[in-house]
Amino acid sequence: MNYIYDLPFGHGKHFLHNVPAWADAILGGWSTSGLINWRTGYPFNIRTGSFPTAFTLDAPAVLLNSAGLKPGIHTDSGGALQYFASQSAAIAAVGFPFGGGTGNRNAATGPGFSSVDMGLWKSLKVPGSERQHFILRLDTFNTFNHPFSTGPIKPSSTGRHRLLLTTPASSESSLRQPVSHASSKWRFVTNSSQPSSHSAKKKGEAAVQPPLFILQP
């Protein structure tokens, strides 16, 4: 889902419509937009590493107690990111298939995912010109720093995530002249990142990326 909204501040708007011109130049004319992504988790097989029907088919585990597969993302005492609320309960909830048999497909569901990208911008008129203007813009990606990773691996390490798929929250600011009014543009870009609240890396490995400044003619 996406949206675009003109903020109701400044001359001709509902709020602050009587402020002086200098205040309107700062507070008025702002717009915002966003892209919201939300979905539930994907079902996945719990692998066993056993081959009861063929040497090329890794059979899924037999589901014994679905209540033991209760999600609860946390970091264990060894620093590993765990998906299930209780590792021991998750291991007891599944079993190995017997010879000639097979287990249950898609016995568990992976973590859901949500992400919000947001933008804030306004048009800045060039003094003495009716047509020329610049656009001041700030964009944030994964604004609320929500992590998302793949599902657990198999009973021998039940609940441990494979990879952290999302990038940390980052922001970008720019000042540019629209292409329709000029053959060139200037972009002052500040790009910064924050480590996710749940990281698949061990403590001390996650680091904030240094700011990146770009001036593009």
Hey, where are the domains in the chain? 1-39, 40-216
119 confidence band (pLDDT: 50, 70, 90) = very high
Residue 186 has pLDDT above 80, yes or no: no
Please tell me which residue, 75 or 3, carries the higher pLDDT value: 3
> In terms of pTM, does the model score above 0.85?
no
User: 215 near 166, Cβ under 8 Å?
Assistant: no
User: 138 near 117, Cβ under 8 Å?
Assistant: no
Distances (CA, A) of 201 to 13, 83, 133, 142: 48, 14, 45, 19
Distances (CA, A) of 12 to 53, 111, 209: 73, 46, 41
| Token pair of 215 as six digits | 């001036």
Residue 89 has pLDDT above 60, yes or no: yes
Would you state the pLDDT for residue 205?
41
Least confident of 4-8, 30-34, 118-122, 193-197: 193-197
